[in-house]
Copies of this chain bind each other. A is one copy, B any other.
Amino acid sequence: MMHDRLTRDLYHEIRRIPLIDPHSHINPLQATARSLDDILGYHYYTELAHSAGMDQEPLAESVSPRQRVKAILEHMDRFDNTVQYSWFLEIARTFLGFTGDRVGAKDADALYDAAEKIFHAPGWEDEVLRRTNVEQIFLTNDFDDDLEGFDTNRYVPCLRTDDLVFHLAQPEVRQRLAECTGIEAADASSLKQAIGKLFEHFTSKGARACAISLPPNFTPTHIGNEEWTQAIQTIRSNPDDAAGAAVCARGVFWCLAEYCRDFGLPFDLMIGVNRRVYRLGVYQGQDLFDQRTSLIQYADLFNAFPAVTFPISVLTSVQNQELVSYSWIFPNVVTNGHWWYSNIPAYIAPDLRARLNAVPKTKQIGYYSDAYKLEFVLPKFDMYRRILASTLADELVRPGRYSEKDAIALARLLLRENTERIFLKR
């Protein structure tokens, strides 16, 4: 597959490094896929099939999983050029015994049947983890998740806070908050108290990060208690008051940063996504971005919280260029993975190269899977490992700056040790 020996050697050594996956959407109570539908129902496939011409009928609940899988596979030859297709091919080969070069409509039944058998075999979850060589996987937990019933050392809880910051105007969100904290958040003081309860609960269960995704125009600032209280009252009486919601969002966000500081949690910021841009898009396939955003919007935050580490994910290469510079200057800003639309080789490669050129190696979290099912951790990390091997070869080993051993040690930082030091050993 790789035509130069140095890259191949580095890649094979890098594969042996046990991974820690610092961000996923895995459900720890059902971490693996139960059927091929769970694999091809991943939004990358539904949205590419839809974009390439599939209408949304096969995605209806009434359609049988086998039929849905067939519909998606029937469109796959329209996007077999994509890296997302290559992830699926690797899953089919690694986990489903597929031996062909190309996968498509003709393979639907055989793959579906193989998945039925293999995914339900006893010990499948452990088997996937073993083959993937992953030790720990970070989760994305709703603020009212009870975090019960799973090994929080293997599946590390993270407090996801989009709902608190951006949807507190919705009565059901406030209801959920009241139910899980016993506090009715009617003003700044009680809302702070409620959020404090969440941090207590999450950290007591081993949570290691607070996380949020943010729209491109968001600029965090400190909001005084009085102004914040007023905004809380406004959205409680009028859920559609956009100005009130905006002030409240900034109030909650700043409060989260304060708790991150007090509880010693890094605050993962995933910057730049607009929700529901394609309004008739498939489930989870509606969000896009506006490249006109800047990390300068976060300067006050980074200055105000020197003790909080902010692992930053961005969506474009020009934001990555900002991120490289901000991470090189701010001690509390670190680079975090290759997010969503920028998680393709054409952007990972230049973004990684720039980070390796100018960000201290101890401040780079190399990659996360963002996976919904365990089976995706392997092909996604593998895509990254290939690029990492090739970049280390070109940038550091071939120019004589690093030995192969040094390069592997750097890969170990990116794939596990930085994650351990930044998130786990606090």
Contacts and interface: CB of A to CB of B under 8 A. Distances in A.
A238 interface: no
Contacts of A86: 401
A329 B359 CA distance: 33
Contacts of A362: 52-53, 78-79
A53 B47 CA distance: 43
Given A81-B356, A329-B288, A341 B321 contact: yes
Given A83-B358, A354-B344, A319 B331 contact: no
Contact of A289 (B291, B296, B403): B296
A325 B299 contact: no
B277 A299 contact: yes
Given A362-B52, A410-B81, A306 B280 contact: yes
Residue among A316, A325, A399 facing the most chain B CB atoms (10 A cut-off): A325
Contacts of A299: 277-278, 288
A180 B283 CA distance: 48
A302 B101 CA distance: 36
A98 interface: no
A342 B320 CA distance: 12
A84 interface: yes
Contacts of A278: 299, 302-303, 329-330
A280 B303 CA distance: 8
- Copies of this chain present in the complex amount to 3
A328 interface: yes
Interface residues of A, number: 80
A292 B289 contact: no
A4 to B, nearest CB: 10
A328 B49 CA distance: 9
Contact of A82 (B1, B319, B357): B357
A50 interface: yes
Contact of A279 (B303, B328, B350, B400): B303
B291 A318 contact: yes
Interface in A322-353: 322, 324-331, 341-342, 344-347, 350, 353
6 contacts: A1-B399, A2-B399, A51-B360, A285-B329, A341-B358, A350-B350
Query: A-B pairs with the 10 shortest C-beta distances?
Result: A346-B354, A52-B360, A79-B360, A344-B357, A346-B353, A290-B296, A325-B341, A81-B361, A290-B294, A78-B362
Given A288-B296, A290-B294, 13 more contacts: A78-B360, A78-B361, A79-B361, A81-B361, A82-B359, A86-B401, A278-B329, A288-B326, A292-B292, A321-B342, A321-B347, A346-B354, A346-B358
Interface of A: 1-3, 47-48, 50-53, 78-84, 86, 89, 101, 274, 277-281, 285-286, 288-296, 299, 302-303, 306, 316-319, 321-322, 324-331, 341-342, 344-347, 350, 353-354, 356-363, 395-396, 398-403, 410
